[in-house]
């Protein structure tokens, strides 16, 4: 099944002169013993050849090219469908550096374990050398990565998700500073699965998986885990945040970032289509998952999106909830673990109200609406180039990034958390972000629906000690004469029947509008114990069907009993982080308790 003999002519010779790259690839080739080494250049011809080979090997199924031109389908191993947080390691010299929220392993031990796992791990297979950039060309924040992988699925996904190819070698020049990523598929069994990070070496090794978050090493591994470690050292922030641009009818542009945990609405918010009442407003996507931010010379915080594509959640995506995503994934997209229709179209729960009468499910079995299991995996995904997005913000290519006016934190909470509130100031905002919580989702293996603390939506992605990470956030204030305002939102509060209280999606424009107005000093607010909350007259509900002030009061309600419990549950996190927790945050907790 795994014999890979695809070798495109002229690709067996290195396409770089960088001795750092050549030496490292030589070393890894000796370790993994692939039968071929293919030096990727990111060209169209290469894509065409690899796609053809993927189809030939059964790695891809060509979808209906009339309905979905350039689209392909991939099924991952059924035990390999989400990020494996329990198999993810931060390998710093000391355990304290990794901190209490990460799995730690000593670098020497992990290297030797992985070396024996990878020894001969690519025998009979091709090793692809994938050079890529995280960040727009010419940005001082942009980083070079090279991923060695024996998965064509990874090569073609990286080609979508990053700026891949010769451009990366150009950026590297004769430097040695690039992320060394090794990905060995091995047998895909969970026992041999490791996603191991070596921040001091700017290196990642990933084994026995072929699922996105575990193996597209530029994304969570480099852009967030190694990224956050480098950011703390170099004075910037690497965050699990979308970046959007909001242009008002008068042409005023406001840029906003938002950190929501995995599968909690980033892609949808970044692609928001305003309801008719907001005609004239244009929301555009700079990024949908990751933001790298650094203070600019004018004292504002500037953000770039290091990625070039979206690796988005399929279930729930449809023409009503996210028409921009539907357009984005209508061509040149790789689908993973969704369901197939008889005419090779794709389907997932929530794509249409009535499911097709007959499908092939994500495991390859026949499926009908009477089947007990879902047709698509709950974490089935699409990988699509960001340029496909009708709401693509051209600023995504700006090496200087965009100035951020507001940072939004938010989780998936059935109770307690109101729709929106604004932190009193930067330090309070960091407390709000640090104590953020969310119900777990299918994006990671394990129990779904359990509330857990997820500071800044970075719990699974912080590449060093979380206490020091929060300290770094506090410190960033010093370089900002115009700090972004900080907000908290919750799209997922439910009523006593379990129904969402807030319609969400496009209607989130109303919340965004209040946030934008607040950052420009235009909207009134009321001082609640949690922070500033909208005055009913400043929150625009006009044009909404079946939603009135009474409902607004319900979704916005602050229940003191629930909040006392909430404040108590912050203790769990604070105990865990205690030895490195900034005292500012403990003081914020005291103040919150006093206000309650």
Does position 263 bind ligand GTP by CB under 6 A? Answer: yes
Does position 34 bind ligand GTP by CB under 6 A? Answer: no
CA angle, 503 then 509 then 512, to 5°: 120
Catalytic residue among 32, 118, 264, 462: 264
In the complex, what is the shortest distance from the CB of residue 238 to ligand GTP, in angstroms, rounded to a whole number? 15
| Coil/strand/helix, residue 508 | helix
- HSE value, Cβ hemisphere, 13 Å, CA-based, for 498: 0
Torsion of Cα atoms, 339 then 340 then 345 then 349, to 10°: -30
**Using CB under 6 A, which of the segments 50-58, 213-221, 292-300, 482-490 binds ligand SPV?**
213-221
Pick from 47, 87, 220, 351 the residue near ligand SPV by CB under 6 A: 220
User: Which one-letter DSSP state was computed for residue 501?
Assistant: S
| Pairwise CA distance, residues 424 & 163, whole Å | 39
Span between the terminal Cα atoms of the chain, in Å: 61
In the complex, what is the shortest distance from the CB of residue 381 to ligand GTP, in angstroms, rounded to a whole number? 8
| Pairwise CA distance, residues 101 & 576, whole Å | 8
Q: Left, alpha or beta for 260 (phi > 0: left; psi -120 to 50: alpha)?
A: beta
Does position 163 bind ligand SPV by CB under 6 A? Answer: no
**Using CB under 5 A, which of the segments 158-166, 243-251, 258-266, 321-329 binds Mn ion?**
258-266
- Report in angstroms the alpha-carbon separations of 136 from 50, 167, 394, 473: 25, 11, 11, 24
- Report in angstroms the alpha-carbon separations of 471 from 11, 183, 481, 531: 47, 33, 18, 22
Q: Which is nearer to ligand GTP, 181 or 265 (CB)?
A: 265
**Using CB under 6 A, which of the segments 136-144, 217-225, 276-284, 499-507 binds ligand GTP?**
499-507
Does position 70 bind ligand GTP by CB under 6 A? Answer: no
In the complex, what is the shortest distance from the CB of residue 231 to ligand GTP, in angstroms, rounded to a whole number? 19
Does position 321 bind ligand GTP by CB under 6 A? Answer: yes
Does position 262 bind ligand SPV by CB under 6 A? Answer: yes
| Pairwise CA distance, residues 156 & 416, whole Å | 43
| Pairwise CA distance, residues 243 & 226, whole Å | 20
Is 264 an annotated catalytic residue? yes
Q: Which is nearer to ligand GTP, 194 or 505 (CB)?
A: 505
In the complex, what is the shortest distance from the CB of residue 260 to ligand GTP, in angstroms, rounded to a whole number? 5
- Spatial neighbors of 139 by CB under 8 A, at least 6 apart, are 304, 399, 400, 401
- Spatial neighbors of 553 by CB under 8 A, at least 6 apart, are 536
- The entry of Mn ion, ligand SPV, ligand GTP, none that residue 293 binds, CB within 5 to 8 Å by partner kind: none
Does position 289 bind Mn ion by CB under 5 A? Answer: yes
Does position 443 bind ligand SPV by CB under 6 A? Answer: yes
One symbol per residue from 279 to 318: x for binding ligand SPV (CB under 6 A), - otherwise; what is it? ----------x---------------------x-------
Encoded tokens for 460: 């699974």
Q: Does residue 334 contact residue 350 with C-beta atoms inside 8 Å?
A: no
**Using CB under 6 A, which of the segments 57-65, 84-92, 264-272, 403-411 binds ligand GTP?**
264-272
Q: Does residue 255 contact residue 271 with C-beta atoms inside 8 Å?
A: no
Pick from 88, 267, 336, 380 the residue near ligand GTP by CB under 6 A: 267
Size of the residue set binding ligand SPV (CB under 6 A): 9
- The entry of ligand GTP, Mn ion, ligand SPV, none that residue 197 binds, CB within 5 to 8 Å by partner kind: none
CA angle, 472 then 478 then 482, to 5°: 115
- The entry of Mn ion, ligand GTP, ligand SPV, none that residue 321 binds, CB within 5 to 8 Å by partner kind: ligand GTP
Place of tokens 């930067």: 426
The contact set with ligand SPV (CB under 6 A) reads 83, 212-213, 219-220, 262, 289, 311, 443
User: Which sequence positions are flagged as catalytic?
Assistant: 264
The contact set with ligand GTP (CB under 6 A) reads 260, 262-268, 288-289, 312-313, 315-317, 321, 443, 491-492, 500, 504-505, 508
């Amino acid at each position: 099944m795994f014999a890979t003999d695809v070798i495109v002519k002229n690709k067996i010779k290195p396409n770089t002169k960088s001795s750092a790259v050549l030496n490292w690839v030589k070393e890894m080739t000796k370790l993994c013993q692939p039968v071929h080494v293919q030096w990727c250049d990111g060209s169209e011809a290469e894509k065409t050849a690899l796609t053809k080979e993927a189809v030939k090997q059964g790695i891809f199924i060509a979808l209906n090219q009339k309905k979905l031109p350039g689209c392909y389908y991939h099924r991952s191993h059924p035990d390999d469908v989400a990020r494996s947080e329990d198999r993810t390691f931060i390998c710093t010299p000391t355990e304290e550096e990794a901190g209490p929220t990460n799995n730690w392993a000593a670098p020497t031990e992990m290297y030797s374990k992985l070396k024996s796992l990878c020894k001969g791990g690519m025998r009979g297979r091709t090793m692809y050398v994938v050079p890529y950039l995280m960040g727009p060309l010419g940005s001082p924040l942009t980083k070079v990565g090279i991923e060695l992988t024996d998965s064509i699925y990874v090569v073609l996904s990286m080609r979508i998700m990053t700026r891949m190819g010769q451009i990366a070698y150009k950026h590297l020049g004769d430097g040695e500073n690039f992320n060394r990523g090794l990905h060995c598929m091995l047998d895909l069994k969970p026992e041999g699965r490791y996603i191991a990070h070596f921040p001091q070496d700017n290196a990642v090794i990933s084994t026995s998986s072929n699922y996105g978050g575990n193996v597209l090493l530029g994304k969570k591994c480099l852009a967030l885990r190694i990224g956050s470690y480098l950011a703390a050292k170099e004075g910037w922030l690497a965050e699990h945040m979308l970046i959007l641009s909001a242009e008002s009818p008068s042409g005023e542009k406001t840029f906003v970032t938002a950190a929501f945990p995995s599968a909690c609405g980033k892609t949808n918010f970044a692609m928001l289509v305003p309801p008719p009442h907001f005609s004239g407003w244009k929301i555009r996507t700079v990024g949908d998952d990751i933001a790298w931010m650094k203070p600019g010379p004018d004292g504002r915080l500037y953000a770039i999106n290091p990625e070039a594509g979206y690796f988005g959640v399929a279930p729930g995506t449809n023409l009503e909830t996210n028409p921009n995503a539907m357009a984005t994934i209508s061509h040149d997209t790789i689908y993973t673990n969704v369901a197939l229709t008889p005419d090779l179209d794709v389907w997932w729960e929530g794509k249409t109200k009535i499911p097709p009468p007959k499908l092939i499910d994500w495991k390859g079995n026949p499926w009908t609406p009477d089947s007990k299991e879902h047709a698509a995996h709950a974490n089935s995904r699409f990988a699509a180039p960001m340029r496909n997005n009708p709401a693509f913000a051209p600023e995504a290519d700006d090496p200087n990034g965009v100035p951020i006016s507001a940072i939004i934190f938010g989780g998936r909470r059935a109770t307690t958390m109101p729709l929106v509130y604004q932190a009193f100031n930067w330090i309070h905002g960091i407390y709000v972000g640090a104590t953020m919580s969310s119900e777990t989702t299918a994006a990671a293996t394990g129990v779904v629906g359990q509330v857990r603390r997820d500071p800044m939506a970075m719990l699974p992605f912080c590449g060093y000690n979380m206490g020091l990470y929060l300290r770094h956030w506090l410190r960033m204030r010093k370089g900002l004469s115009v700090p972004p305002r900080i907000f908290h939102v919750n799209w997922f509060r439910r009523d006593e029947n379990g129904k969402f209280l807030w319609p969400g999606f496009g209607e989130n424009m109303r919340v965004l509008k209040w946030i934008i107005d607040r950052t420009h000093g235009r909207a009134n607010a009321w001082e609640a114990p949690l922070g500033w909350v909208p005055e009913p007259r400043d929150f625009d509900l006009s044009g909404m069907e079946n939603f009135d002030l009474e409902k607004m009061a319900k979704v916005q309600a602050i229940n003191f009993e629930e909040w006392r419990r909430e404040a108590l549950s912050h203790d769990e996190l604070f105990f865990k982080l205690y030895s490195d927790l900034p005292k500012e945050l403990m003081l914020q907790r005291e103040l919150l308790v006093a206000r309650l």
